[in-house]
Amino acid sequence: MQSAPYEPAEVRSAGATTQSVQSVPAPAPAVGGSLPDPMPRPRSEARAAAVISVRGEATMLVDPEVADLTVSVTAHARDRREAFERLVKRNDEVLDLVRSYGDSVDRVESTGLSVAPEMRRGKDEKIRSYAGTVRVRVTVADLAILGELIARLTEVEASALEGPFWRLRRSSPIYRETRARAVAEAVARARDYAEALGSRITGLIELADTGLSSRSVTQAPRPGGPVVYSARAVGAAQPEPAALDLEPQQQTVYASVEASFQAAQPEFPLL
């Protein structure tokens, strides 16, 4: 039997006009038979990435590249001019000796020249004599000639020698290699931590020297202080001085960095 068409119901009231009230059709069921949520919840935000912070360190023990020497030359005389002339003569003797080694010497320079009176002890402050001093700083690049050079420098009249002070050049690639090893250690350590959590590194947040404002590449201090050599005037008939067999002191180069990495959130089982 065919159903009659839908007609809106009429509601009448005394003294009121007739109004039509039309029913709202029910929403169609969703797939699977469930009705859609009339107030859908906002989509949840993605979980924040995990952060892994580590420190990477590296230490290298290497042979020195250069050696520094300081030669102090003195002169005494009753007259100021004579003291100065003696000082100049001995300073030139040191410079000529050092420069005779050519490219084996990286740098030579004279510093700290002074000529001052020496006063007589007692109430009357009279000048007894004049004393002059000058320092010559030498940087030796060829360590094979170092022992011979030191032995010859000690033969200079009225001279004293300090050194050798072993070191690397400031531009040495060893510093860069040490820093690179420290960074590699930080990356490897962060990956180890991530794998232990069942996670993985996804990005770098920050990389800096340890302490930020402090030096990452330090050089080990010179233990024992300088070795001091001294010499007095030697006659021309003296034999050649024996060359010193010096064993270079190995240098310790250290680098340290701090790094923070972004990592995927690990999935922990429910307890």
Last residue of a domain, one of 150, 167, 184: 167
Instruction: Classify residue 11 by burial, with Cβ atoms within 10 Å: 0-12, 13-18, 19+.
Output: exposed
Q: Which domain range does residue 113 map to?
A: 66-167
- Quick one: which of 131, 130, 152, 148 has its CA closest to 71? 152
Question: Do residue 154 and residue 184 come from a single domain?
Answer: no
**What is the gyration radius of the CA atoms in the chain, in angstroms?**
43
Is residue 140 predicted with pLDDT exceeding 80? yes
Q: Same domain for 97 and 190?
A: no
Same domain flag for 163 and 70: yes
Strands 201-209 and 9-11: unpaired
Q: Domain end: 167, 190, 215, which one?
A: 167
* Residue 152 and residue 70 share a domain: yes
pLDDT band at 119 (very low <50, low <70, confident <90, very high): confident
In a domain, 74, yes or no: yes
Q: What percent of the chain has pLDDT over 70?
A: 68
Task: Give tens-digit pLDDT for 41-76.
Answer: 444 345 788 999 999 999 999 999 999 999 999 999
For residue 136, pLDDT over 70 is answered with: yes
CATH code of 119's domain: 3.30.70.2970
pLDDT > 80? residue 8: no
109 shares a domain with 135: yes
- If asked whether residues 73 and 57 sit together in one domain, one would say no
Q: Is residue 205 part of a domain?
A: yes
pLDDT band at 242 (very low <50, low <70, confident <90, very high): low
Residue 151 lies in a domain: yes
| CATH (domain of 251) | 3.30.110.170
Domain count across the chain: 2
What number is the average pLDDT over the span 95-108? Answer: 96
In a domain, 114, yes or no: yes
**Same domain flag for 135 and 110:** yes
Does residue 245 have a pLDDT over 80? no
- Report if residue 160 sits inside a domain: yes
End-of-domain residue from the set 116, 142, 167: 167
Confidence of residue 268 (pLDDT cuts 50, 70, 90): confident
Concatenate the DSSP letters of all residues of 234-248 into one string.
--TTSPPPPPP---P
Q: Is 210 left (phi over 0), alpha (psi -120 to 50) or beta?
A: beta
- Shared domain check, 125 and 77: yes
Residue 241 has pLDDT above 90, yes or no: no
Domain-located, residue 270: no
pLDDT score, position 244? 63
Residue whose tokens read 């007894």: 128
Task: Select the highest-mean-pLDDT range: 17-26, 104-113, 217-226.
Answer: 104-113
